Amino acid sequence: MPDMAEDLIRYDIIIQDALRNAVRKILVEVNRAGLPGEHHFYIAFETTAPGVKISNRLRERYPKEMTIVLQHQFWDLQITEHAFEVGLSFGGVPEHLYVPFSAIKGFFDPSVQFALEFEPGKTGEELPAEFRIAERDLDSVEEFHARLESAVEQDEKEEANTAAFEAEETTSDSEEEKEKTDSDETSKDDNGSAQVVSLDAFRKKS
């Protein structure tokens, strides 16, 4: 079987972009006319993807990805060429989310069992400058955290080595002190015996 030729057209990227554009058109129609019938959407996206804007509260709760539901209660839905934004309530707290289409991982309409899957960041479209800047900033932050973790690990190792060395020195000093004490006591015993002998000798002479 002959080897498969390299895909220079990049059909995978073309299909991904076409499907993202389909999601965009669906949201535009919903924004214009509302959700028809029983249709509603589950949209999963990466919270760390460039351009995603969510509150710190949501980012702490969903550090990697989250899924939102567009059904009964959502507001201020707006769609641009590269992203959508919407208001949703989480635990009774209203939140505003800004999600680039390039961050979407999945789109699912359970009413008709229609689903799309995506590879976040895999797109042939030219992303807005703020998305690219955000991506560079994210890389810089991740690199900084990696260096920080490495430095902390090194400090912990050095502290552990220092503690072990000090413990060894303390043990050595204790042993030397004990040996010195034993030697002093032996010397005292010897001196005491000498005094007794000397006293006995004196008594014999007398």
pLDDT tens digit sequence for 17-73: 999 999 999 999 999 999 999 999 999 999 999 999 999 999 999 999 999 999 989
Please name every residue paired with 79 in a beta bridge, in sequence order, or none if there are none: 84
Residue 4's pLDDT band (cuts 50, 70, 90): confident
Q: Is 185 helix (H, G, I), strand (E, B) or coil?
A: helix
Q: How many domains does the chain have?
A: 2
Q: Look at residues 88, 111, 95, 94 and name the one whose alpha carbon lies nearest to residue 26.
A: 111
In which domain, by residue range, is 192 found?
128-206
Pair 113, 160 in one domain: no
What is the structure's pLDDT at 20? 94
Residue 8: predicted pLDDT: 78
Q: What is the mean pLDDT of the chain?
A: 77
Q: Using an 8 Å Cβ cutoff, are 99 and 83 in contact?
A: yes
Domain boundary among the residues 123, 141, 172 is at 123
Q: For tokens 């015993």, what's the residue?
A: 189
What per-residue confidence (pLDDT) applies to 104? 95
Tokens of 179: 């040996």
Q: Quickly state the pLDDT bin for 115 (edges 50, 70, 90).
A: very high
∠ CA 142-147-152, rounded to 5°: 125
Last-in-domain residue among 123, 145, 166? 123
Is residue 176 included in any domain, yes or no?
yes
Alpha helices in 44-128 (DSSP H): 56-61
Q: Which of 123, 140, 169 is the last residue of a domain?
A: 123
What is the CATH classification number for the domain harbouring 42?
A: 2.30.30.220
Element (H, E) at 200: helix 129-205
Same domain flag for 67 and 135: no
- pLDDT tens, position by position, 35-48: 999 999 999 999 99
Task: Give the distance, in angstroms, between the CA of residue 162 and the centroid of all CA atoms in the same chain.
Answer: 30
In this structure, the answer to whether residues 33 and 132 fall within a common structural domain is no
Mean pLDDT of 115-141: 60
